[in-house]
Amino acid sequence: MDIRKPQAEDFAAWATLYAGYAAFYGVTQTDEMRARVWSWLQDGGHPVQGLVAAEGGRLIGLAHFRPFSRPLSATTGGFLDDLFVDPVARGSGAAAALIAAVKAEGQAQG
């Protein structure tokens, strides 16, 4: 399993996963909304970041996360916004691998 940042060529597969995530939670989501989130993920200056899980060349999961300020302790924390694995790939370890990669990315960013 490959955990990595989403690449431009991943858009269609990512959009399918993200639409599945929205449907799972009963959230109405449009193509325009997905395009906006994708643009955030492709913009290195935007706080929202993402990772995808790929297996056999196919995207099977996604995670979106961002830093947040903790004024009382004058520190920055990490917030996992979205975590989704294609239902056919559940039990593959993708969710655990994505969470571990988000944790590692947070540690790398301090």
Q: What is the pLDDT of residues 6-58, one digit of tens each?
A: 999 999 999 999 999 999 999 999 999 999 999 999 999 999 999 999 999 99
Q: What is the pLDDT of residue 81?
A: 96
Q: What is the pLDDT of residue 63?
A: 98
pLDDT at 109 over 90: no
> How many CB atoms are closer than 10 A to CB 107?
9
Take residue 66 and report the two structure tokens written for it.
Answer: 């961002």
Tell me the whole-structure pTM to 2 decimals. 0.93
Give burial (CB, 10 Å; 0-12/13-18/19+) of 63: buried
CA 19: distance to chain centroid? Answer: 13
| Nearest-angstrom CA–CA distance, 26 and 55 | 27
Interval 86-103 mean pLDDT: 97
Superfamily name and number for 2-108: Gcn5-related N-acetyltransferase (GNAT) (3.40.630.30)
> 83 with 65: CB under 8 angstroms?
no
pLDDT at 110 over 90: no
> pLDDT tens digits, residue range 62-80?
999 999 999 999 999 999 9
